[in-house]
Amino acid sequence: MSGLFLLLFSFGLTVTGAAVARDTPIYDKAAPLVEREKVFDVGNSFLQAFERLGLGPMLQQIPAHGQGLLMASWTPSTDPSNSPTFVIQHGGGGIGSMHIKMAQDMRREFGANVLILDSHWSRGRRSNVGPDFRKYWRMISATDRAYDLLAAGQWLAEKGIDPKQAYAVGESQGGMVVMRAFTANTSFSEEIKKYFAKGIVLWPACVWWDSDHTRSHPLGPFHSRVIVFTGGRDYGSPVSECLAIKHAARHVHFEEATHAWMLATHGPYKPSEDGNCDAKIEFKNRSIDMCFSASRTEETWRIIREFTQ
């Protein structure tokens, strides 16, 4: 699987399973976890990159709400209980090289514990966009994935991770997942509050349909502090569509930044090239640039440091 394909983390929504009462509001329901018994074959060449680059292996290890195990890469620090913890929620194209680079940055910048959480491979699918969007009878929704995040929080708490230093980080579709998980007065909001102190949202996809393709997920007000980062050249997820930003504790907008300005264009082993726009996606019948920005990546980590202190 090419590194470039793995970077197509775009504008879908993801699935987690949890049985809920019949009178639960439609937006709080989640589908069964396992759509296929067989985990998607990611390919050894990419899976090997996690350990080769100093991260924990990508394994089925987190008990999900419903049934089955979610895949995740868990990399604790040398002092896990006294370190900040970041849980990375991928976008609609699934986990790619960018998420490995993000985890490396988090370890270097913060001395952090890092969990890269999967919501696609665990369900037998490659992604939630493109051909995979059309292949399945339902989308993996933001509410589904909010339950995935909750499962990860519970799993980390059992390992002695301090919830007051645990942060949910979502990019693109994963950013909407974080906003959904941090929306107040849902069936899961009080539980999310137990395991995560704050939410960090990167270039979010703010408009998506529920699993029945008829309803949009309500986002906000938020029960805890959320910071949202957006780019003025993000034409697939334009900031004008993200009405939930008004509920954020802070909104950081980089006018010249594209979608996914942290992306690793040429795979996990090569340094990212500042200003490189080789990675593109097709969305709404147009080609959309995704350009790596070294300065905006550095600035993003600096602001996140302030936000988490």
pTM equals 0.87
Tokens read off for 239: 């900031």
Which of 64-78, 96-110, 153-167 shows the lowest per-residue confidence on average (mean pLDDT)?
64-78
pLDDT of 212 reads 46
pLDDT of residue 216: 62
Over residues 296-308, mean pLDDT: 98
Which residues, including other chains, have CB under 8 Å from residue 85's CB and lie 6 or more apart? Answer: 112, 113, 114, 115, 156, 161, 162, 165, 166, 167
Tell me which of 19-28, 91-100, 165-174 is least confident.
19-28
Portion of the chain with pLDDT greater than 70, in percent = 78
Confidence of residue 19 (pLDDT cuts 50, 70, 90): very low
**Closest-CA residue to 283 (of 256, 257, 249, 260):** 260
CA 7/CA 29 separation, integer angstroms:
29
Dihedral sign of CA atoms 236, 238, 243, 244 in order: positive
3-state secondary structure of 243: helix
pLDDT at position 92 is 86
- The mean pLDDT of the chain is 84
Residue 35 has a pLDDT of 46
Q: Is 136 exposed, middle or buried (0-12, 13-18, 19+ CB in 10 A)?
A: middle
**Higher local confidence (pLDDT), 238 or 16:** 238
Q: What is the pLDDT of residue 206?
A: 86
pLDDT of residue 61 exceeding 70? yes
Nearest to 254 by CA among 294, 198, 282, 306: 294
Which pLDDT belongs to residue 129? 53
Q: Which helix (H) or strand (E) is 143 found in, with range?
A: helix 142-158
| Residue among 69, 47, 68, 52 nearest 60 (CA) | 69
| All domains of the chain in start order, with CATH | 5-308 (3.40.50.1820)
What is the pLDDT at residue 243? 92
Higher pLDDT, 211 or 80: 80
Q: Is the pLDDT of residue 2 over 50?
A: no
Across the range 80-101, mean pLDDT stands at: 96
Tell me which of 91 and 282 has the higher pLDDT: 91
**Is the preceding omega at residue 221 within 30 degrees of 0, hence cis?**
yes
Residues 166-217 pLDDT 10s: 999 999 999 999 999 999 999 899 999 999 999 999 999 887 654 444 456 7
pLDDT of res. 214: 45
Residue 8 has pLDDT above 70, yes or no: no
**For 285-301, what is the mean pLDDT?**
92
Hey, what's the torsion of the CAs at 103, 107, 110, 115, to 10 degrees?
Answer: 50
Contact 91, 171 (CB under 8 A): yes
pLDDT class for 136, splitting at 50, 70, 90? very low
Average pLDDT over residues 26-46: 61
Residue 187 CB contacts under 8 Å (≥ 6 apart), including other chains? 20, 24, 25, 28
Q: Count of residues for the chain?
A: 309
Helices and strands of the chain, counted as H and E runs:
7, 10
> What is each CA distance from 217 to 22, 53, 74, 139, 142, in whole angstroms?
19, 36, 29, 13, 7
Q: Looking at per-residue confidence, does 159 or 68 come out higher?
A: 159
**pLDDT at 149 > cutoff 80:** yes
Round to whole Å and give the CA distance between 217 and 206: 9
The distance in angstroms from the start CA to the end CA of the chain is 38
Kindly state the tokens that stand for 273.
Answer: 């090239």
Token output for 32: 């069964």
